[in-house]
Chains A and B, each alone.
Chain A
């Protein structure tokens, strides 16, 4: 079981996609829901049997696939990928629930593509062979592009093409870099490569290593996205159907940055880290300031996402245990909260067919249940303590403060800005007297199906806010080791240093 569980989880959605093409149309949502729920339950097997005391990859499976070039089917997870796999499992049923009524044409295509992208995501997180990883990476592009193009809003096609070009062109460079690594080492295997990296880093290869690391970085940075490579984000998110907007940004790129950029090129990453930290801080402020002046709810959400993801970038490249742990935790919690936020936006759109804040006003009076959920989710996104957002944000900021005090302080300004744009949004959309559109409507408050999607998510926000240790144990066992030359300074030395300094003064 332990050796095949990852394979099972990864490829079950493809099997589901096959079944979707055969089933009658009216059964599709229900079938996909049950199927994704089942997969989610399977992913829960992983944390239940994960051993935090053990080093290296667990649930691993390493089989030769192609002899020349030596491509292996090598999968496995560690503390970094463990919860990301569970997260992909968790978000899929929610995506089905919010698509239930919205997707009213080409359902067969929608659900099979949706399941296909789930396989690609699982594959990205579990692959330990670069070629296998690259295959999943490219595979993830196609279903998402099609889903945005076919099921998006009126400019869906343009947004889909934009997304595809932005993601695809740097991916080609990534492939070149992977092939170069193979040419130099004769292997695609992540574990082997990692152990050979220091022998590879000799004078003759220095430039090549740098170029390869930059190719990796560029491909991942676009996917996150990191400022200023975020041009696809606002269009992509605002045009994509809810189920896709929920999974479009963030985790794939951020995971890959940590695993394959920092993990394979520690020296190069250490050299470029100051730039990445700066871009992270810029992204936080830039995203928040742009969110502040948006009039379209989904664009506001897109820029808010840019800000939230930039926190993770800051945390990863600040290279302290706290900031890196916090960054991974923030990936999880941001995905949950932003997922809830996009679901709520979708629910709102189902009722009023607009994301324009000028037309929506005073909804709280009409739909109090929806308003309550919106408020809780907004509070989670702005990092209110005892909700999930705070833990990651706090660890990222306090961790990066140790290596970059000025930049981390600047980033902390984002805490004020995020409160400003979120509360202003809540006020404009939910409070005050109802607008013409809202007053005239007879829209129903949140339905049972929607509750089924949102209540567990909200509960998770609360649990992740107070019981972070449960998730952090595995993360903390793995992630800090990614930092190049990580040396924790003991507290007593700090205080005695301090005392010495003041004595001298």
Chain B
């Protein structure tokens, strides 16, 4: 049995695809571009399956590194080293599996786009960085993937670069993420200063060896990492880029801005859980950010009219759940929700893409309706995804969401059990809101009267039509996964084995015992009751959506008019973008322009040079007068000069 998994090859496969399509793609026929992109992403998926098949026989954690380091100076070294453990394997399966499906979907979706080759090149580039991110064995290599997926995201959001809004959104995503990266970098510097290494195994080993290390600098490091995670995983206060990122093509929204990249923050917190376990404060902050983001984004989601924006806010909200789970040290539940979310949210986006495709580019929910019969495969698969995200038994979301809510219910956050209960309550309300806005979307898209412009859709192709098989196949696969994908985490309280959490025990098991989170009397009966309660709340949300958007379609409008202030507040996303613009961006630009540029640079820095120059010319005009041609005055100057030299020699020279 071989123990070399050739992990280095895994990221390099999509990189090869990127290099091929990126350099030659412009001149190649479409089929070749597609085949190359599919081949390399498929090969990566195949290798992951091969690794998974042999996973049981590996000694964990399994580390492979290059002989040559990346950065090496005397006393400090960073290697190209890769880590394989259950957490990595799960991420690898999600990234390459969903990644491959979305590559396949894109073949159909992007078929008529200009710059086809560019799209596939970037998509492969994204896979390269994402695989680097999840395979990294040290913080710096993780950071490579971290920044790299940001780059791929920037390029893909700005794919339609002729559109100002797309170019704007790409730039915004990158810069906001850089604010998070600022925190990440400071955390790395602190780690270097205190541990002298960035390797996960060494750092976590050193922490484990010193049980006395609690809080202190570990809290600082953890909080800085949280700042990084709020950037990448779109949490308060840095979530603002994700809704705008919907300017990118829909497959990109599905892969990068729903299933994989945005979960990198959750992955990072889970990966570095050893640090968080030693800091109740940092964990508490994570939990509060998560819960706040979950409900905040959900409230915005209920009034948005762009189908992709609803899904974007839903993603922010679901990522909030995962954060919340991390914050109560329920890391395996967070990863579980990450996986099921990858299935159903990718599916929601792809199905939304299929709807948009069918309508010739229409994204406004108000201009859809009645599509149930016209695009049945899309309808049924999307229905599976809607049921999954709302958490109906036995769909995938039910298991993962309940695992999280149950953990939060029993947790003590910031040493307070009441705070834990409060966060659980927020999670529960959010579940109801989620169900409401998802069924709102479902009804507006597929039920009621057809409000779309048939001619416009006609123009896009041949009337409202179902998509090609390359697009439908991923929908069906993900639809099945949205149904059965949660069964691997069937809780023991409901007669299952909770095998997902047990699979992750080698990674998180140790921390579950050492975690500062106090488990109160958790019983199977309680768990069943809570699960029933959250199902009830979800049903309530459905019922409300049914009343408002199915039975009385005129009612929402009237309600919006009645509470116009509240409606405007939600519609304008609490004016957060405007707030940031007014208190950060514009003052910064104004200060740079007026104070620094016109004031300091033109005035002082440049001005002092000019002053020196005019001083010199003034001085020289005086000196010129000395050359009067008068011998006697020359003699006078000479005597004065000699006197100065003598003074200098006597009084100053001996000082030097």
Contact = CB atoms under 8 A, between A and B. Distances in A.
A469 B206 contact: no
| 10 closest Cβ pairs, A-B complex | A491-B196, A431-B167, A401-B189, A385-B144, A289-B592, A208-B656, A431-B161, A293-B593, A476-B73, A419-B178
Contacts of A494: 193-196
B158 A431 contact: yes
B217 A498 contact: yes
B65 to A, nearest CB: 14
Given A293-B593, A488-B75, A413 B182 contact: yes
B127 to A, nearest CB: 15
Contacts of B144: 385-386
Interface stretch (A2-10, A104-112, A402-410): A402-410
Interface string A382-423: 001110000100110110011001001100110110011001
28 contacts: A180-B656, A228-B605, A231-B608, A234-B601, A289-B596, A290-B601, A365-B161, A379-B151, A384-B148, A385-B144, A395-B73, A402-B192, A413-B182, A416-B179, A419-B174, A424-B171, A427-B171, A430-B161, A431-B166, A433-B164, A472-B71, A472-B73, A476-B72, A476-B73, A495-B206, A499-B212, A501-B216, A502-B214
A433 B162 contact: yes
B68 to A, nearest CB: 6
Interface in A308-322: 321-322
Contacts of B450: none
B175 interface: yes
B605 A165 contact: no
B76 A293 contact: no
Nearest to A372: B22
B426 interface: no
A439 to B, nearest CB: 12
Given A412-B185, A419-B178, A468 B217 contact: no
Contacts of A208: 656
A231 B206 CA distance: 50
B289 to A, nearest CB: 20
Contacts of B174: 419, 423
A196 interface: no
Contacts, number: 173
B417 interface: no
B578 to A, nearest CB: 19
B168 interface: yes
A448 to B, nearest CB: 16
B79 to A, nearest CB: 11
Contacts of B570: none
A476 B596 contact: no
A290 B592 contact: yes
A432 B147 contact: no
B437 to A, nearest CB: 32
A469 B167 contact: no
Contacts of B601: 234, 290
A408 B189 contact: yes
A377 B567 CA distance: 45
B197 interface: yes
Nearest to A368: B26
Interface string B46-74: 00000000000000000000001111111
B175 A395 contact: no
A230 interface: yes
A174 interface: no
B143 interface: yes
A322 B70 contact: no
A469 B69 contact: yes
B225 to A, nearest CB: 15
Given A322-B76, A412-B186, A472-B72, A386 B193 contact: no
Given A290-B597, A467-B68, A480-B74, A207 B655 contact: yes
User: Which of A228, A408, A488, A491 has the most chain B CB atoms inside 10 A of its CB?
Assistant: A491
B71 A468 contact: yes
B588 interface: yes
Given A379-B151, A476-B73, A419 B175 contact: yes
A325 interface: yes
Main secondary structure of the interface of B (DSSP, over half): helix
B402 interface: no
A364 interface: yes
Contacts of B613: 165
Contacts of B206: 495
Given A292-B589, A364-B161, A491-B196, A423 B171 contact: yes
Interface in B207-230: 210, 212-214, 216-217
Category for how many chain A residues contact B: 35 or more
Contacts of A402: 192-193
A200 interface: no
A259 interface: no
A423 B71 contact: no
Interface string B554-588: 00000000000000000000000000000000001
Interface of B: 68-76, 140, 143-144, 147-148, 151, 154, 158, 161-164, 166-168, 170-171, 174-175, 178-179, 181-182, 185-186, 188-190, 192-197, 206, 210, 212-214, 216-217, 588-589, 591-593, 596-597, 600-601, 604-606, 608-609, 613, 655-656
A491 B162 contact: no
Contacts of A476: 72-74
A365 B605 contact: no
A166 interface: yes
A447 interface: no
Contacts of A430: 161
Given A290-B596, A293-B593, A466-B70, A384 B151 contact: yes
A248 interface: no
A379 B210 CA distance: 40
Given A364-B161, A398-B188, A476-B73, A405 B193 contact: yes
A432 B162 contact: yes
A231 B605 contact: yes
A416 B588 CA distance: 13
A10 to B, nearest CB: 30
Given A293-B597, A498-B213, A431 B186 contact: no
Given A412-B186, A423-B154, A495-B206, 9 more contacts: A231-B608, A401-B189, A409-B186, A415-B178, A415-B181, A416-B175, A468-B71, A469-B69, A494-B195
A180 to B, nearest CB: 8
Interface in A346-369: 362, 364-365
B66 to A, nearest CB: 10
B213 A502 contact: yes
A401 B190 CA distance: 8
A321 B75 contact: yes
User: Which of B175, B190, B210, B592 has the most chain A CB atoms inside 10 A of its CB?
Assistant: B592
A141 interface: no
Contacts of A480: 73-74
A150 interface: no
Interface in A459-505: 466-469, 472, 476, 480, 488, 490-491, 494-495, 498-499, 501-503, 505
Contacts of B161: 364-365, 430-432
A476 to B, nearest CB: 4
A88 B197 CA distance: 34
Contacts of A419: 174-175, 178
Contact of B143 (A180, A385, A405): A385
A467 B67 CA distance: 12
A408 B604 CA distance: 26
A385 B147 contact: yes
A391 B69 CA distance: 13
Interface string A283-306: 000100110110000000000000
A386 B132 CA distance: 11
Contact of A293 (B70, B164, B214, B592): B592
A197 interface: no
A503 B164 contact: no
Contacts of B216: 501-502, 505
B487 to A, nearest CB: 39
